[in-house]
Amino acid sequence: MSHQISAASIQFNLTLGDVDANLAKALAGLQQAKAAGAHLAVLPEMWSSGYDYRRLADLAERTPEVIEQLCAFSARSGMVLVGSLPEKEGDALYNSATVIDGGAVVGRYRKLHLFSTMGEDRFLTAGDQSLVVDTSVARIGVAICYDLRFPELFRKMALEGAEVICLPAEWPKPRQEHWRTLLRARAIENQLFVVAANCCGLQGKLDFFGMSLLISARGEVLAEGGETDVVLTATFDRAEKEEYRSQIRCFYDRRPEIYGTLP
């Protein structure tokens, strides 16, 4: 693998319940990321539909078709793609992120932590396992939105060898500073790269601030979005990450016998 990882975050204003419009926006953003030389791209949370709870089961029926379109794009472009979509299995609905590489789904992560404040747990079923997966670009860990508030998940992924955390989100105002602070903290404390894709604009009563971020293993913000549609790109340096880890040896100095063991 190359020492350089070229990544992109695709930020856009979702149209609630309009799969075709959202798919067109996503593919246009991915094409822009490809033209900029990105090898890895992350889309927002539930980007094909938004949280259209009343119709979510029907909208989830379109997800296999949407994934086929992403697989076709991945095959043509050689890019690794990550994004969250509604997934239906039997009577259960999940918020699922797929990792697509070489034109095929190589990993699927179902959101572990459902945001009860907004009623996610009344409409969706929580996943029951984390995901770290090898891809042609890097070893990737995946989290979704509210997962960001649970640092133990990120440490688990780091211990399992994740180099990049991909985080799709629909994180609304007024919690911008929580978003930015927590994303930087997850990068700093685990000494890995973070690609976070948030949506922007209004969806019903919710106002999304965008502010998608690409963050280095030192916690430096390499690219940051505003409140409108944007494709952000940055390059991560593996050698710099390893040098940082050798200088500040957080993993070597851990004391799991005191505060608990993680696999």
Active site residue 25: no
Alpha carbons 51 and 188: distance in angstroms, whole number: 31
Residues 6+ apart with CB under 8 A from 12: 22, 25, 26, 29, 44, 47, 199, 200, 229
Helix axes 151-159, 176-190, angle to 10 degrees: 30
Active-site hit among 25, 34, 45, 166:
45
Amino acid identity at 40: L
Alpha carbons 241 and 5: distance in angstroms, whole number: 12
Tokens of 203: 């969806």
Active site residue 45: yes
| Length of the chain in terms of residues written | 263
CB 166 within 8 A of CB 140: yes
Helices H, strands E: what count in the chain? Answer: 8, 14
Active-site hit among 25, 87, 120, 145:
145
CB 137 within 8 A of CB 171: no
Active-site hit among 25, 34, 88, 111:
111
Alpha carbons 236 and 193: distance in angstroms, whole number: 7
Active site residue 200: no
Catalytic site positions: 45, 111, 145
